[in-house]
Amino acid sequence: MKYFTFLIIVLFITSCSSTKKTIKTNTKPIEDVVIVTEVPDVLNAEHEKNVWTEVEETPIESKKNDSVEDIEIDEDTSFYQEVSKREGYLHDLFTELLQKHVSKNGNVDYKGFKKSRAQLLAYIGILENTYPKLDSLSKNEKLAYWINTYNALTIDLILRNYPTKSIKDIKDPWDQRLWKFGDKWLNLNDIEHKILRHMNEPRIHFAIVCASVSCPKLQNVAFTALNLDAQLIKATKEFLNDTSKNKLSEDRIQLSKIFKWFKKDFENRDSIIDFLNLYADIKISSKAKKSFMDYNWNLND
């Protein structure tokens, strides 16, 4: 695996004789954005009509200068051709980075991750180059792709601003369009609200992580289509049964505000309690009293 990863990095970072594509991270802050408050579920029906309605097609530079040099990607290597054919390989580099810098409890070593920034940007480059091929992928492949993309870009956002005590200390963290996919400059809100939430899978809320203590823990392996259902079940059960995130009993439940912010996602088919009973360790009464816990936005380090 180490040799495999080394080959990936060499192929993507070093120069070679074939055609090169330069990954550029965008560095200009967005001017007119919707500021994400404590309650992120603010998109109205008109706003959600078109996934790409408000996505900028021109790069917008960030306020903070990026000290990492551009990375050259060899688009003609046999490895990239293989990556395009087999979705499993697509996320191997991200898994290695997560296993190196994320504990089993989901704590992220951002200081250590910063030393692997070049590899993270190489992985983001793989995602950007795979984007034009998304139409040929299955739903589970797309779900895994966008979950991993959200988590990788969130880590990159933190590293751009590290050290920081909270993602909310960063100006408009979910609205900065810093990454180019095709001819679109995307931000985290685009991926969460306009793409993932439209895929009718409420468990994505326990897979995507906003770099905060009260978020679901960041899994230390990448999501893949082959294992997606098992991974989503694991992430959901871990989050629901973590007493620092939710306190559940038969007659009373104290829930994460995720269930308040995204209520309609969990009640798309049944009630929230019906959803909880699919994954909770105890059986919750349909008449249980419900309240919500405070949300801790401190960095998940």
The per-residue pLDDT for 101 is 98
Matching residue, tokens 């699919």: 278
Which H or E element spans position 275?
helix 272-279
Q: Which amino acid is at 43?
A: L
pTM surpassing 0.85?
no
The per-residue pLDDT for 87 is 55
pLDDT tens for 20-48 read: 344 444 444 433 333 333 444 433 333 34
**Closest by alpha carbon to 246, among 266, 222, 268, 220?**
266
Long-range contacts of 269-275 (CB under 8 A, 24+ apart): 275/202
Cβ pair 131, 182 in contact under 8 A? yes
The per-residue pLDDT for 59 is 41
pLDDT tens for 217-237 read: 999 999 999 999 999 999 999
How far apart, in whole angstroms, are the C-alpha atoms of residue 95 and residue 223? 9
The per-residue pLDDT for 90 is 86
Strands 71-74 and 252-255, sheet pairing: unpaired
Residues in the chain, pLDDT under 70: 1-88
Residue 106 Ramachandran class (φ > 0 left, ψ -120 to 50 alpha, else beta) = left
How far apart, in whole angstroms, are the C-alpha atoms of residue 188 and residue 210? 9
Residue 229 CA, chain-centre distance (Å), reads 17
Cβ pair 202, 265 in contact under 8 A? yes
The per-residue pLDDT for 142 is 96
How far apart, in whole angstroms, are the C-alpha atoms of residue 113 and residue 121? 11
How far apart, in whole angstroms, are the C-alpha atoms of residue 244 and residue 212? 13
